[in-house]
Structure 1
C-alpha cells in the first residue's frame, strides 16, 4: 500500500480495535450529519474476532472542511475506493437512515462487480427504495425551519442546536446528507442476493414499519424486519437491544 493510499484510508476509516485476521468486518455508516465516533462504543459488544470499521464522511469531525458530495455515484465510488482494503475479505454493512441508503448502494455496487464478500446488510431507520419520500423536503427549508425540524426529529444534541457557531459548522453536512437521502430512490429495478436485516422504531414518526416493509422486494436472499421500542434514533436510545440482535445474526 502506498503512503497516499494509507493516508486516504485513515482519513476515511475509524478502526477502534484493529484485528490481525478478522473473521468478519462490520463496516458502519452514520445517519445524516453523524460522526464515525458514534460507533466506537460498539467494540465493547462485538466478539474479539470482529473488526469494526466506522466510515468518516466529509463535512464532520476531522473532515469538517472537506468538500461534500452532491450526487450518489461519486459518493459510492469514493467510499468503495477508500474501503477497498476492508472489502477484500468477508464483511457486513450497517447503516442508519442516510447511512442505510449508503450501505445499500455500496453493497449493490460491490455485487455488480462480482464480489460476494458482503455476508449481510443491516439497515436501520430507513425507508425502502420504492417508498416515496415524505414531502415537503426538509433539506430545502430556511435555516430556522430546518433547525426546528432537526429538533423535532431528535438525534442532534440540544446544546449543538443552541450554539450558532457549531450549527454553522454542521449545517452544510446535515443539509447535504439529507438532500441525498430525500432524493434517493430505486435506481436498480431488480433485487440482489444479499441477506437483509431491517430495523425500525415502533414509535418512529419518520420511517415506520409501513415505510420499511417494502425491503422484502429488494433481495432474493431473505429479509428480516425487526421492530425496536424506540423512535427514529433507536440506535442510540435502544443500542443494547439492537446490537444483541445484530450480533446474534453475525454469529449464526
Structure 2
C-alpha cells in the first residue's frame, strides 16, 4: 500500500471503509487508535501526506489543487466498497474537494460524509493570513489555537522541523475557498466542539449548502481539537453512522461494491 495510506489493521472482508483526513499539522496517528473502538465491519485508512510523521523530511504540499491531484491517483481504487469520508478541520475541506473531483470525473463517491471541527468550504478562513508571518508571530498564532503542545512550541529544534509543514498546511487552509456548484445526495454528519472559539454553529451549518439531505449536527465537549481530547466520543458517533449504514445497505448493494 502507498505510504500515503496508513492501514493499522487490514480488514479486507469488512463491509465498509472509513477514510480519514487529518487537520493542519496533523497526521494519521490521530486516527489509527480508533481501530480498537470501531466496529469490526469497517476498515480504517488514514491519509499520511508528505511532511509529517514518517514522511517528515518530504516536502509538504501548500496548494489544495496539488494535494488533491495526488489523492485522485490513490483514492478511487479504495471506493470498491461503501466508504465514509471523515475529515477534521482542514481535513474536512480536503476530503470535500476530493469528493467534488470524484463526482466531476464520474467516479464512485462515499456513501456518507463527516465534517468535523470545520467551517463549510465556501467560507474564507480569515481576512488576515498567518502562514507567511515571521516565526515568532506565527508560533503565537499556533499557541492561540491550542493544538500544539507548549513543550513543542518552546523546543526550537522541534519547531524548525515542524514549521515548514505547519506553514504549508496553513497556506492551504487560509487560501482555499470552494466556489463550484457541485452538490451531493449522500448523508452528511457534522461534528463540532462545544468550546471551539474558532468554529461557530453557523460555520458548521455552512456544510448544509452542498448536501441535499438534512445535516446531522452533533456538538461534543472540548475545543477545536476535541478529536484528540475526546476520541471515544468521536468514535461513538462514527459507530452510530456505521450502524445506520449497515442497516440501510441491502446485502446486494454491499456485494455490488465488493
Return the TM-score normalized by structure 2.
0.89
1:114 corresponds in structure 2 to 106
Name the residue aligned to 2:80: 88
Question: Does residue 74 in structure 1 map to residue 76 in structure 2?
Answer: no
Q: 1:245 Cα deviation (Å)?
A: 1.4
Distance 1:196 1:188, change over 3 A: same
Residue by residue over 1:138-179, the C-alpha shift from the partner in whole angstroms, topping out at 9 and shown as x without a partner, is 212211111111112112122211111111111111111111
* Deviation at residue 39 of structure 1 after TM alignment: 1.0
Which SS does the other structure have where 1:93 is aligned? strand
Which of 6, 29, 42 does residue 50 from structure 1 map onto?
A: 42
| Structure 2 residues without counterparts, runs of 5 or longer | 245-258
1:29 aligned onto 2:21? yes
Q: 1:184 deviation in Å?
A: 1.4
**Separation in 2, partners of 1:221, 1:118:** 14
From 176, 186, 189, the counterpart of 2:178: 186
Residue 201 in 1 paired to residue 184 in 2? no
Distance in 2 between residues matched to 1:117 and 1:32, nearest whole Å: 24
Counterpart for residue 212 of structure 2: 220
Tell me how far apart the structure 1 counterparts of residues 182 and 24 of structure 2 sit (CA, whole Å).
Answer: 26
CA drift of 1:206 comes to 1.0
Q: Structure 2 CA distance, aligned partners of 1:47 and 1:246?
A: 9
1:249 Cα shift? 1.1
Q: Is residue 124–residue 176 contact of structure 2 (8 Å, CA) maintained in 1? A: no
Inter-CA distance 132–117: structure 2 relative to 1 (3 Å threshold): closer
Which secondary structure state, in structure 2, belongs to the residue aligned with residue 118 of structure 1? Answer: coil
Deviation at 1:40, TM superposition (A): 1.3
CA RMSD in angstroms, aligned pairs only: 1.5
Aligned to 1:136: 128
* Mapped partners of 2:241, 2:96: distance in 1: 18
Structure 1 runs (4+) greater than 3 angstroms displaced: none
- Is the CA contact 2:6–2:48 (under 8 Å) kept in the aligned structure 1? yes
Alpha-carbon shift at residue 75 of structure 1 (Å) = 0.9
The structure with higher relative contact order (CA 8 Å, sep 6+) is 2
Contact 1:89 1:117 in 2 (8 A): no
Give 2:157's match in structure 1, choosing from 154, 165, 170.
Answer: 165
Which segment drifts farther, 223-232 or 93-102?
223-232
Q: Does 1:145 align with 2:137?
A: yes
Aligned residues: 244
